[in-house]
Amino acid sequence: MADLSFCLRDLSAGVKVLVCLCVTVRSRFLKNWKKYPIIFRKRRFLWYNVPIKDAPGECRKGWGYPMSKKVKRNVIVGQSGGPTAAINSSLAGVFRTAKDRGYKKVYGMIHGVQGLLEGRYIDLSEHIRTGLDAELLKRTPSAYLGSCRYKLPDIYENKEVYEKIFKILEDLEIDCFIYIGGNDSMDTIKKLSDYAIVTGSDVRFVGCPKTIDNDLALTDHTPGYGSAAKYIGTSVKEIIRDGWSLETSKGQVIVVEIMGRNAGWLTGAAALSKGEDCDGPDAIYLPELPFDVPAFVQKCRELLEKKRSIVIAISEGIHTADGTYISELGNATEYVDAFGHKQLTGTARYLCNVLSQEIGCKTRSIELSTLQRAASHCASRVDILEAYEVGGAAMKAADEGDSGKMVVIQRLSDDPYQAGTEVKDVHKIANDERLVPRNWITPDGTYVTNEFITYVRPLIQGDVGAVMVDGIPRHLYVPGYQELL
């Protein structure tokens, strides 16, 4: 006796219906196993050689066949959301794996799905011609293809957008669609894969994680975070050193504003500066807890009684108990992106103004801003290698039949650090946020614990040697390409 779980999708009515059946197969039925062979792989399964007459509804056309068993055509890949120092390493991984697995062309969307809708794309083979090109791409910060923050409408709101995208994919003979991005980008993968199910398209849609914010659900961490954390720890250490060199009569407070929006993973990385040769920041404030401005002023007052120069790391997303961002107290920035995210800037400047008025000390506000996500000269080797592997894993998953999935990193051990990849349902990831656990923040809410440091430190290890030309790092360059962006 054996248990066999499988799924049937009836899409003939235009509605996704998922029926899970658990069949007990007794020995007298095993003689018919050749009629419905199923491949099991890494805790997931793929339909293979299911008789076309048994496939329901519109999904009979090409339904259920792994790409590895079809004549392979082309792949398209895009980048979306905030750039990182590692995002192009994932792009290199997608390209290399697609070529190794026999796909003819690998197209790159110019500025993500927004550019695709405008018919803007390139053949990556014209950009990655040699092994040196691939290595330069891995060391090139920002999004080589150009990024976007384009929110796909719901299918029922604007079906024409989806019809246009799928017509372009059909014209380009696309089998696999890989999207490198964060939370909002996974929303795009979710919607496109759902539309493919509804219409019976056999294009596979797989997400490749990327975000310095490190806030994607179901993955241990995200490519891009390790390099940004390394830059933050290094920069905060240098800022602390600089603060020691100056002496003022009433003391000095330096407030360093760090990205991350509602998640404090990046801000917590400021604690990496602490070591035998550096005390680290004097306080760290994450957005996971409400921020009290008067309590912050009192904390700085007490610290100045002990030290002439203090450094505070704060997240751009810290907020009061009623949810008001501190940045909104100091200015009236009205910009909101397509996903409803407010632009967060000026938090450190506002707090420095408050400290100057309340204490009368010298203050300095520092926004690391885009430097923390574009600092390829300070990239983590672990991060760049993992980004490349995750890009390859996304392509592999699509080739083997996965769709509506995202590759995740699973940590196996901290010391020695070991990690692997698997795929998860993108519906459980898109539009969700993974925050720093409360027990990784000190009880008074002004620092991170040793557990946080143990989690982050393996991700910043190693360096990536830059290709230097005239004393400056060289990036991948194709004449005339930048004018297209």
Q: Any idea what the CATH number is for the domain that residue 141 is in?
A: 3.40.50.450
Question: 457 lies in a domain?
Answer: no
Asked if 129 and 86 sit in the same domain, the reply is yes
Domain tally, the chain: 3
Residues 207, 116 share a domain? yes
Residues 239 and 218 in one domain: no
Nearest CA to 181 out of 262, 106, 114, 98 is that of 114
419-444 tens-digit pLDDT = 999 999 999 999 899 999 999 999 99
Question: 219 and 75: one domain?
Answer: yes
Q: What is the pTM of this model?
A: 0.84
pLDDT tens digit sequence for 211-231: 999 999 999 999 999 999 999
Same domain, yes or no, for 285 and 265?
A: yes
Helix, coil or strand: residue 58: helix
Q: How far apart are CA 202 and CA 64, in angstroms?
A: 8
Give residue 418's domain range: 71-223+377-434+464-484
Give the residue numbers annotated as catalytic, written as ranges. Answer: 213
CATH number of the domain that residue 235 is part of? 3.40.50.460
Q: What is the pLDDT of residues 123-151, one digit of tens each?
A: 999 999 999 999 999 999 999 999 999 99
413 near 203, Cβ under 8 Å?
Answer: no
Evaluate if residue 260 carries a pLDDT over 50.
yes
Helix (H, G, I), strand (E, B) or coil at 107: strand
Q: Is the predicted pLDDT of residue 307 greater than 80, yes or no?
A: yes
Beta-strand relationship, 252-258 and 362-367: parallel
118 shares a domain with 45: no
Q: Is residue 441 part of a domain?
A: no
**Does residue 337 sit in the same domain as residue 278?**
yes
Same domain for 180 and 105? yes
